[in-house]
Structure 1
Amino acid sequence: MTLNATLKSVTERIIKRSEGSRGIYLERMAAAKSKGPSRAHLSCSGQAHAYAGAGPDQAALATKTGGNLGIVTAYNDMLSAHQPFERYPQLMRDAVREVGGTAQVAGGVPAMCDGVTQGEAGMELSLFSRDVIAMATGIALSHNTFDAAVYLGVCDKIVPGLVIGAQAFGHLPAVFVPAGPMTSGISNDDKAEVRQKFAKGEVGREALMASEMGAYHGPGTCTFYGTANTNQMLMEFMGLHLPGSSFVTPNTELRDALTTEGAKRALSLSALGNNYTPTCEILDEKAFVNGIVGLMATGGSTNLLIHLLAMARAGGIILDWQDFADLSAEVPLLARVYPNGLADVNHFHAAGGLGYLIHELLKGGLLHPDTKTVAGEGLANYTTEPFLSDEGLVWRAGTETSLNEKIVRPLSDPFQVNGGLSHLKGNLGTGVMKISAVSAEHRVVQAPVRVFHDQEDAKQAFKAGELTGDVIIVVRFQGPKANGMPELHSLTPMLQIMQGRGQKVALVTDGRMSGASGKVPSAIHVSPEALDGGPIAYLQDGDELRVDALTGALEILTEGVLDRTPATADLSQNEAGMGRELFSAFRASVGSADTGASVFGA
């Protein structure tokens, strides 16, 4: 199949734009490769320190003949998605011993749950945690005793942080190993309905708690298609997962088999063997373009419009939001998974899942087929599915037809002809909108604004009955420099109620929304942010805006707005408490959202 012309041209311009920075990165990786297997250079004392706690593996480590696998884990048992990782290191140690290798936990990285911190002070650490995870990954691997690495992470900032860290050690092979989604609980629509009833005062906290516990009821990833599950999709499209491994539920025989195979596969790709495949060769410009295509085809999380920029820059690759917009115009929406449909990720996986989508997109010339992956040369490997057989774990050809066209569809009959995300720009700045769950009649909103500097003030105005009529809610001073760019997902019930009673309503913010949001049009990640003097800082109540996902317009219609003195905000309450005082250096140095909102340079 001929490669799509837009896919080809976007890739070529990314390669050209990145030529200098990518070349510097690859030179650095080549220098690291040239030093050979890591442990050979260590002093005897250094090696003794590294092996002292290895128990039965001490002797094997000291001989330097077998590969040593570094495990970087985001395990904690407060996150349901990460709780299954408790068992993984022992499974991996046992597995690699079978092939003459060893495995050690190189280090742990923090992993926070945005679902717990929504609307709380801790959410202001969420985005910064991505860069902390990258740094912690660097520390974990800095002992330089490993021939390959596996990365255990699933959720929102964890996978992007691990990818950034893995690229700092891009001369090492890397396999990302997921935990899988929890089994399906109550439907996401039923859960959302109870949340709205609670917001209206129609049910009490006891009913709300029962509903939430019915949805989040066991180990594994939350089953809606938010940032965590979008991360898992990306790891397959970009070639860092084993094929078909993203959405196999935890604590099953197949899940354990994929975990042990992931460890063996990582060692098999090391420089000690004949199949050396370093991470820096997998994560090239084509791999990132494939990831963007997957994001568009599945209607994935808007958070990845920040994370992919930061992830790419860690490997010297410069993406911008226009790349996303141009690909969105070409890539149709092929999946409906909550919040842009009724199905959850378990239903999506059963209907054909990622393997079917990759098959369709390859067939249509909408993916680069020739990328390197941990499964071998070529993305076609990711059209296969894992099975257990008498011979152990095997991969067989996946379905070439959708098993439920209410959930996944072929290219010939998509849910919509373009992707699930829209790039917005105009005299208010630049931003993004997730449109896959927004009904066609809600994709253009022109209305006066109500301006808030805090999401709690917006909720209080709603409760006081002030937000009537058509209105665009502006919540500013929520950017990365102001307060770490928290998600504003706790506004979702109120916004959906307003939309449901017939109001034209939209959100405009320099902050973020949850990856699971989407039914209300939300222009988010608006840059420049208010604290940087962006146009959003000049708005006043009653000014008229136009938010148009169809044309990509983000426009101030009221004349003279930019002639005013910009607003300021008292941000002192964001500077301390819940650990925020530890991140003042991050707030001072972080880049803008449209460059990845990273502390590693804009």
Structure 2
Amino acid sequence: MTDPRIMAVTERIIERSRPTRRRYLDLIAQEADHGLRRPRLSCGNFAHGFAAAEGDKPAIKAISGPNIGIVTAYNDMLSAHQPYGRYPEQIKIFAREVGATAQVAGGVPAMCDGVTQGQDGMDLSLFSRDNIAMGTAIALSHGMFDAIAMLGICDKIVPGLLIGALRFGHLPALLIPAGPMPTGIANKEKQRVRQLFAEGKVGRDELLASESASYHSPGTCTFYGTANSNQMMMELMGLHVPGAAFIHPNTPLRTQLTRHAVHRLAALAKGSQRPLGHVIDERSIVNAAVGLLATGGSTNHQIHLPAIARAAGIVIDWEDFDTLSGAVPLIARVYPNGSGDVNGFHEAGGIAFVTNELLGAGLLHGDVLTAGGDSLAEHGATPMLEGEVLSWKSITTSGDDTMLRPVAAPFMVDGGMRLLNGNLGRAVIKTSAVDPSRWTIEAEARVFSDQQSVLAAFQAGELERDVIVVVRFQGPRANGMPELHKLTPALGVLQDRGFRVALLTDGRMSGASGKVPAAIHCSPEALGGGPLARLRDGDRVRMSADDGVIEVIGVDLATREPVAAPPYPMGTGRELFALMRTTCDTAERGASAMLAAMDVESAIGAAMVPV
């Protein structure tokens, strides 16, 4: 039986979403009945679609079986996506085994936030999600496909693929992962060297050697950031083959899981079963949020999950996250919330253990429709090979209680993500990696408008005190809402020196948000006169996860004029994203220009329909 607190949030989301969800379901029903499909293409259209299909041309021409559209985010610079290079060839072979065919429908960009972190390119990062969504829609617009295989793992890429694919939600769909790289140096050691570099105690050569020992081979980075949080959410939304998330690339087990996913997609397409737009519903969105909270996942999904939900006509907000966080215990500690990485997490029981625990406690909706298996309960098992036979083993006990614990004995009684409200706006804070003694910080503010100025002040010794570092004009409309993870080592050094330090920003932190308390995604953002634009150096700010408060003390902000915003960023292609910056929604609504415009168009269309 589902926990009544989970049910209350779900029912609130259902009621709030009723008109938009109805419009979405009507859209995909119309697409299923009358939309573009192979049998409806003209001969000229159709011939173009299979002209280069080589050995699959007769089967596609005869419509003798389902044709799977592959949308790939492959590139060989991004370690997580490098293994995808050979996947289309494999998928085509696996499809033929079950009387199906497959074609690469299109490719979408995949940028690495690890490469762009703290660089100009990071300003493109969040809006690359909209670009990926539109690229996915372009790929699928040809009407040649009966199912969707999405090849993507990392931060904005999975949300972008899903948002685009949801416009074709009458088709079945799965994400096919490639898995994490093997464990490199210990994460704590990597963190130690970063802080030494920030202090000037080691040089670039030592830092590069450390980073290269951490990020060292094909596969996803092994810390539990946004990419690996994506994988967990896709499992709990039933959009992976059960247990597929954390199996290493280029192994026999990984190959068999890919094969199983292709066979599964072909079977769903033949029976017109489990379309994506019905697999993703209000309950599955709540399940994703619950999994995120229970495992201490990435703060980026406070933006991405509302955007995914909106693409399916579902409205979820930060108050829903906050309420769910009060009901869901933290049962996993994976770096940066613990010492072990996702490989250790998987070996200890991983997503299978988490799924069983949350289902057993009534914290997940077990009656959701899933695409990767027949029920969510199947995700409570981990895959293995016996010879060449793929099988699954249920995981009901933790193999390492420093990393995974049961719901009855959690690391924390709540999920460690809180909503902050006050005269500085609304923000979110992740407490799961922060010592409780630092959940409330009250100190004078030091206000900056970019990351480099913060680092310069740190190097000059100007932050050697209790301080709340405010970095404003980092919101989606100002500069695309970059992650500010580059500040983490410097702020960590200050905290280790005994100062009470916090970060307050309208920007994002990485999925690697760690031990320094950070109130992020502050909304309304500074650009346009938000409260952060009225803060001054020396203002006393109180930031409390204990009380859910973010406020400036003893100041009437309404009496102050906002400071002028910096010029819009230029170079590195950022000017090409001006339309997205100037038209996007708030962080709480998903920070998407595309979805904001789509909502307006949909509302206008609904108003024009005769009653």
Shared fold per TM-score greater than 0.5? yes
Query: Does residue 304 in structure 1 map to residue 301 in structure 2?
Result: yes
* Pair 1:40–1:522, CA change in 2 (3 A): same
1:141-177 alpha-carbon deviations (Å, 9 max, x no partner): 0001000010000000000101101101101100101
Q: 1:592 aligns with which of 577, 581, 586?
A: 586
1:161 and 1:36 mapped to 2: Cα distance?
22
Q: What is the correspondence of 1:402-413 to structure 2 with a 5 Å cutoff?
A: 402-413=398-409
Q: Which residue of 1 aligns with 2:139?
A: 140
Q: Which residue of 2 aligns with 1:458?
A: 454
Contact 1:451–1:541 under 8 Å retained in 2: yes
Q: Which residue of 1 aligns with 2:123?
A: 124
Contact 1:370–1:377 under 8 Å retained in 2: no
Secondary structure of the residue aligned to 1:388 is: strand
Q: Which residue of 1 aligns with 2:484?
A: 488
Deviation at 1:391, TM superposition (A): 6.1
Contact 1:459–1:494 under 8 Å retained in 2: yes
1:395 and 1:497 mapped to 2: Cα distance?
45
Deviation at 1:560, TM superposition (A): 2.2
Q: 1:530 aligns with which of 526, 529, 539?
A: 526
Q: Which residue of 1 aligns with 2:444?
A: 448
Deviation at 1:390, TM superposition (A): 4.3
* Pair 1:66–1:37, CA change in 2 (3 A): farther
Gaps of at least 5 residues in structure 2 are 597-611
Secondary structure of the residue aligned to 1:105 is: strand
Higher mean C-alpha displacement, 42-51 vs 452-461: 42-51
In structure 2, what residue type is equivalent to 1:467?
L
Secondary structure of the residue aligned to 2:527 is: helix
Q: Which residue of 2 aligns with 1:423?
A: 419
Q: Which residue of 1 aligns with 2:283?
A: 286
Counting matched residue pairs gives: 596
In structure 1, what residue type is equivalent to 2:551?
E
Contact 2:424–2:532 under 8 Å retained in 1: yes
Q: What is the correspondence of 1:472-511 to structure 2 with a 5 Å cutoff?
A: 472-511=468-507
Contact 2:242–2:373 under 8 Å retained in 1: no
1:352-380 alpha-carbon deviations (Å, 9 max, x no partner): 00010110011111000000111344311
Q: Which residue of 1 aligns with 2:330?
A: 333
Contact 2:261–2:372 under 8 Å retained in 1: no
- TM-score of the superposition, structure 1-length normalised? 0.98
Give the 4+ runs in structure 1 shifted more than 3 A.
none
In structure 2, what residue type is equivalent to 1:526?
C
Deviation at 1:37, TM superposition (A): 8.3
Query: Does residue 74 in structure 1 map to residue 70 in structure 2?
Result: no
Q: Which residue of 1 aligns with 2:390?
A: 393
Higher mean C-alpha displacement, 157-166 vs 386-395: 386-395
2:381 and 2:588 mapped to 1: Cα distance?
35
Query: Does residue 578 in structure 1 map to residue 572 in structure 2?
Result: yes
Q: Which residue of 1 aligns with 2:6?
A: 7
Q: Which residue of 1 aligns with 2:601?
A: none
Contact 1:509–1:526 under 8 Å retained in 2: yes
Q: 2:555 aligns with which of 533, 538, 559?
A: 559
Secondary structure of the residue aligned to 1:372 is: coil
2:514 and 2:419 mapped to 1: Cα distance?
15
Deviation at 1:493, TM superposition (A): 0.6
1:511 and 1:402 mapped to 2: Cα distance?
36
* Pair 1:500–1:391, CA change in 2 (3 A): closer
Kindly report the root-mean-square deviation, in angstroms, between the aligned alpha carbons of the 2 structures: 1.1
Contact 2:306–2:316 under 8 Å retained in 1: yes
2:253 and 2:44 mapped to 1: Cα distance?
41
1:487 and 1:328 mapped to 2: Cα distance?
23
Deviation at 1:280, TM superposition (A): 0.7
* Pair 1:93–1:564, CA change in 2 (3 A): same
Q: Which residue of 2 aligns with 1:363?
A: 360
1:53-112 alpha-carbon deviations (Å, 9 max, x no partner): 111000111001211000000000010000000011111000010111100000000000
1:142 and 1:389 mapped to 2: Cα distance?
41
1:192 and 1:559 mapped to 2: Cα distance?
38
Deviation at 1:38, TM superposition (A): 1.8
Deviation at 1:44, TM superposition (A): 1.6
2:137 and 2:454 mapped to 1: Cα distance?
40
1:544 and 1:509 mapped to 2: Cα distance?
15
1:304 and 1:241 mapped to 2: Cα distance?
18
Contact 1:37–1:147 under 8 Å retained in 2: no
Deviation at 1:42, TM superposition (A): 1.1
1:29-49 alpha-carbon deviations (Å, 9 max, x no partner): 000111388210112221111
Q: 1:545 aligns with which of 521, 541, 544?
A: 541
Q: Which residue of 2 aligns with 1:58?
A: 57
Q: Which residue of 1 aligns with 2:260?
A: 261
Deviation at 1:192, TM superposition (A): 0.8
Gaps of at least 5 residues in structure 1 are none
Q: Which residue of 1 aligns with 2:31?
A: 32
In structure 1, what residue type is equivalent to 2:113?
D
2:189 and 2:296 mapped to 1: Cα distance?
21
1:281-331 alpha-carbon deviations (Å, 9 max, x no partner): 100000000000001000000000000010000000000100000000010
Q: What is the correspondence of 1:240-259 to structure 2 with a 5 Å cutoff?
A: 240-259=239-258
* Pair 1:41–1:457, CA change in 2 (3 A): same
Q: Which residue of 1 aligns with 2:172?
A: 173
1:140 and 1:400 mapped to 2: Cα distance?
41
Q: Which residue of 1 aligns with 2:153?
A: 154
Higher mean C-alpha displacement, 28-37 vs 430-439: 28-37
- TM-score of the superposition, structure 2-length normalised? 0.96
1:375 and 1:140 mapped to 2: Cα distance?
22
Q: Which residue of 2 aligns with 1:226?
A: 225
1:596 and 1:311 mapped to 2: Cα distance?
8
